[in-house]
Structures are given as structure tokens and as C-alpha cells.
Amino acid sequence: MNIACIMKRKSVRSYSEKPVTGEMLEKLAAYLDEMNHSEGVFGNKVRLQYLENKGGNEKLGTYGVIKGARFFVAAACKKAAYSLEDTGYLFEKMILFATDIGLATVILGGTFGRSGFARAMGLTEDEVLPVVTPVGYAGDGKSLLGRLIKSNAGNRKPWAELFFDSDFNTPLAENDEFAEVLEAVRQAPSAINGQPWRIVKEGTEFHFYSAGQTEMSRIDMGIALCHFEIAAKEKGFTGCFQVLDQKRDNNRKYLVSWVRR
């Protein structure tokens, strides 16, 4: 997984009939297993499961937004502090892995039938099921809803609305040495393309804030951490995530900082 893979990924809402089989399926299954044994930035785990839509009682539906999807990966996590952020972080690693091996995906937080997926996954009382993704090969057609959602997909907020120098009044210079790392964050997927991440650079620290108000924006923040970490590593910057004592303000909530070492 690298910056090229982050830039290549896009949401696919139409799938071909061709199932994921053989070596491809084995690679994906091995990676799901690796993620199920990993922890997110805040120490939470996630339970990823590969599911096939067989119809009947356990029908896995997507409200017509997704065309032709038969195979999915669903994510369950415990109801715990920062578990949604960690789910976003670990789920996005899996999404990028799938992209890397040539599989199409789209993160779904709203447009899927939760009860069918919950049944198929054997969701327990202390778990929630925030996101799923179809996995497969891109198909030709598009659902009508899919077309509508897609028309807004390529747009990203301008750099100056997302990245700041020392405080929220000063946009970060676009030629900052971390420019490519931050661009990898800017291109991240987010629920209704809301892009809630705001980053303030202060010396060797990058403070992550969220401008989002919804549960889904917590998933988005985890995705942003994933992209930042992958891109920073590729560019040779070393550091780690640390929760520092940061100011909250009315519009944005502090999450965590990345501290360069």
C-alpha cells in the first residue's frame, strides 16, 4: 500500500458477475485475518468478515445504490471509545489492500440493509456494524442513485480549508515538505464526501481535528489517519500518533496528533 494506491482508489457502485476466486480470494482472506489481529491507533480491534449474498433470510441489500454486488466485507466493532475511528483506520487499510490487488470497493455506511448483514455476521449485543463494502470487479452499468452520488465524488475541498499552520487562521503553505502526505489525506473517501478532517501543523506536530458531527465522520477521521500514516512512511518521515492536550473549539473537535521523531 502506497500513495499511488491511495490516488488510484475510487468508489465503484457497479459490479460484474465475476466472483472473486482462487489466489485473489486467498490474498484477501489472509489480509482480513491480519486486520482482525491488528489494533487501530487507539488500541481497538475490528472484526472483518467476508460475506456472500445468497438471498433468502440473510439477504445482503444495498437499497439499489450498488449494482451487481454479491460479495462483501463487513466490519463490526465493540461499542467503545474511539472504536469507530479505529474501524475507519483498519477498514481503510483493507480497502487499499483490495485496491492494490485489483479489486473494486465502495465504503457503505448508510445505504445497506443493516439487519441482513448483522444476521449474516452474527453481530453480538456489544457490537455495532458501522460499514460494509462490496468487493469484486467493476461492472459497466451504474444504478441511477449511484450515478447521482458519483457526480460529486471527485470534488475535494481546497487545501486552504483543510490544512493550517500553527492556528486555524493561517492556511499551510502548499509547498510544505509534507504536501504529498497531506494530499493523500485530502483524497481520502468520506461519508457524503464531507471531508471532516482539519490538520494544524505546529513545528514537528500535526494536530488532527474533526469538523464532522456524525458517527460516520468518526469513521472518516480514522481513514484520514490511515492515509497520513501510509504516506508519511513512504516519504521517509518517522513519527507516531499521540493524544496531546489540545484546545477544542466550537466548530472542530481535537482527535489526536502525529508527532515527528
Ligand X SMILES: Cc1cc2nc3c(=O)[nH]c(=O)nc-3n(C[C@H](O)[C@H](O)[C@H](O)COP(=O)(O)O)c2cc1C
Residues that bind ligand X (CB under 6 A): 10-11, 65, 106-111, 131, 149, 153, 189-193, 216, 219-220, 223
Residue 92: CB minimum distance to ligand X, A: 8
Helices (H) then strands (E): counts for the chain: 8, 9
Closest CB to ligand X among residues 216, 246? 216
Q: How far apart are CA 133 and CA 176, in angstroms?
A: 34
Q: CB-wise, 192 or 244, nearer to ligand X?
A: 192
How far is Cα 131 from Cα 143, in angstroms, rounded to an integer? 20
Closer residue to ligand X in complex, CB, 32/106: 106
Beta strands in the chain (DSSP E): 47-52, 71-78, 104-105, 127-136, 163-165, 197-202, 205-210, 239-242, 253-260
Closest CB 260 distance from ligand X, rounded Å: 27
Its sign, for the CA torsion 251, 253, 256, 261, is: positive
Q: Which residues pair with 78 in a beta bridge?
A: 127
Q: Smallest distance from the beta carbon of 31 to ligand X, in angstroms?
A: 19
Q: Kindly state the smallest distance separating residue 109's Cβ from ligand X, in Å.
A: 3
Residue number, 194 or 239, with CB nearest to ligand X: 194
SS3 call for 48: strand
CB closer to ligand X, 68 vs 109: 109
> Least Å distance between CB 144 and ligand X?
12
* CA distance to 91, 161, 189, 217, per residue, from 211 (Å): 21, 11, 15, 8
Nearer to ligand X, 26 or 180 (CB): 180
What minimum distance in Å lies between the beta carbon of 9 and ligand X?
A: 7
